[in-house]
Amino acid sequence: MADISKKKEAIRYLEQGLKSFESMNIIDKEYYQCLSKLGTVYLDYFEMDRNENEKYLILARNINKKLQASYRKLGSSKAYATVLRQRIEKYNKV
């Protein structure tokens, strides 16, 4: 249960951070790091209960699409984006 609440807190924190970046039109290295980490936490949360948390797989897929579309701009976040893409690929049939 503690792990679930930590994941929910991480999701809230990263979603708020992402909204802040977007409201200020800041699309830089830190934005992509935040986006990559949010996608990873969404996927982690989905994997905790795949039946109940399917919407988080959809959210992670949406983030993956954004990251792949901006791959050349990611800088040091490329590694995170690549790992996220590889993890999501195994759920392409879900």
**What residues contact residue 70 under an 8 Å CB cut-off, 6+ apart?**
32
**What residues contact residue 61 under an 8 Å CB cut-off, 6+ apart?**
88
pTM greater than 0.95 (yes/no): no
Nearest CA to 37 among 12, 14, 5?
Answer: 14
Question: In the structure, what pLDDT confidence band is assigned to residue 73 with cuts at 50, 70 and 90?
Answer: confident
Q: Are 29 and 36 in contact (CB under 8 A)?
A: no
In tens, the pLDDT along 80-90 reads 899 999 999 99
Question: In the structure, what pLDDT confidence band is assigned to residue 1 with cuts at 50, 70 and 90?
Answer: very low
